[in-house]
């Protein structure tokens, strides 16, 4: 029997956090037959789409992609286009005493104009979402002739910029080391995608800070005997 400290519930069935090989099951939401099925899926799957989201996705799948969405795609869109990821509200228009400010809260928090002088992208686009960008160079890349289906690939020379993002994931990693760290990696990948044009993951670097390790037969003079909260994993389980 295992328990979940955050949800305060007990799991009676035995289970392990181990990788599962093979593709998981998925299903389509039939909005071609009845567009209202998207509204129904929104409620049943807890996607938290608002009215503008639903209208946008109906138009996307019905009029542009001409197919039904899968539950996996809807879950992906629910996360990728959420306020947490896209900041629709945070980067919205800011009014103070009835007057619109030229710079909203989001733009104010990430404004670093001095970077522009050192090769960063012009026009205020050097930072978007949680990523920054420096001017890149022309690259010869493969592109599908029709990205909505299986299609032939063609070479095209395009300008590709370099993006960078950083992610802290202390709390999830302390609770469940491996799974917490992997969701942090996923967040970093999402952030580089969220610059507005997508991205390719090239490389990643990780840094770790630990408490007292108390390694067997290798005590250090700075280590103390303080106990860790029971919900936290011991540093020995967090370290690589």
For 47, the 3-state DSSP assignment is coil
For 158, the domain range is 111-164
What pLDDT sits at residue 118?
A: 42
What pLDDT sits at residue 119?
A: 45
What pLDDT sits at residue 125?
A: 45
Query: Of the residues 138, 164, 190, which one is the last residue of a structural domain?
Result: 164
The count of structural domains within the chain is 2
**Phi/psi at 36 (5° precision):** -65, -15
**Phi/psi at 119 (5° precision):** 90, 5
Q: Which residues, 6 or more positions from 124, have their beta carbon under 8 angstroms from its beta carbon?
A: 107
**210 located within any domain:** yes
Asked if 198 and 217 sit in the same domain, the reply is: yes
Query: Of the residues 132, 164, 196, which one is the last residue of a structural domain?
Result: 164
Asked if 177 and 235 sit in the same domain, the reply is: yes
Asked if 117 and 138 sit in the same domain, the reply is: yes
Asked if 193 and 228 sit in the same domain, the reply is: yes
**100 located within any domain:** no
What pLDDT sits at residue 66?
A: 95
**122 located within any domain:** yes
Asked if 122 and 183 sit in the same domain, the reply is: no
Residue 94 near residue 104 (C-beta atoms within 8 A): yes
Instruction: Give the residue from 75, 70, 67 showing the smallest Cα distance to 149.
Output: 67
State the pTM of this model: 0.48
pLDDT means per 10 residues, the chain with 240 residues, are 60 70 88 96 90 94 96 91 73 83 67 46 47 83 88 92 76 78 81 74 78 84 78 75
């Amino acid at each position: 029997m295992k328990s979940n400290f955050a949800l305060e519930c007990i799991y009676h069935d035995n289970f392990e956090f181990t990788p599962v090989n093979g593709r998981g099951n998925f299903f389509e939401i039939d909005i071609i037959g009845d567009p209202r099925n998207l509204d129904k899926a929104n409620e049943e799957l807890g996607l938290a789409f608002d009215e503008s989201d639903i209208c946008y996705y109906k138009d996307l799948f019905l009029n542009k992609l001409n197919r039904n969405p899968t539950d996996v795609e809807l879950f992906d869109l629910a996360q990728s286009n959420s306020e947490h990821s896209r900041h629709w509200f945070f980067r919205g228009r800011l009014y103070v005493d009835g007057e619109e400010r030229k710079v909203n809260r989001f733009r104010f928090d990430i404004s670093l104009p001095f970077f522009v002088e050192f090769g960063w992208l012009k026009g205020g686009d050097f930072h978007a979402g949680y990523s920054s960008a420096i001017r890149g160079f022309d690259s010869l890349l493969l592109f599908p002739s029709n990205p909505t289906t299986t299609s032939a690939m063609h070479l095209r020379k395009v300008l590709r910029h370099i993006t960078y993002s950083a992610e802290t994931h202390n709390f999830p990693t302390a609770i469940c080391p491996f799974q917490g760290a992997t969701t942090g990696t996923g967040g970093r990948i999402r952030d580089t995608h969220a610059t507005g044009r997508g991205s390719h993951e090239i490389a990643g670097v990780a840094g770790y800070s630990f408490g007292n390790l108390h390694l067997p037969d290798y005590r250090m003079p700075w280590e103390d005997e303080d106990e860790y909260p029971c919900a936290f994993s011991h540093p020995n389980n967090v370290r690589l």
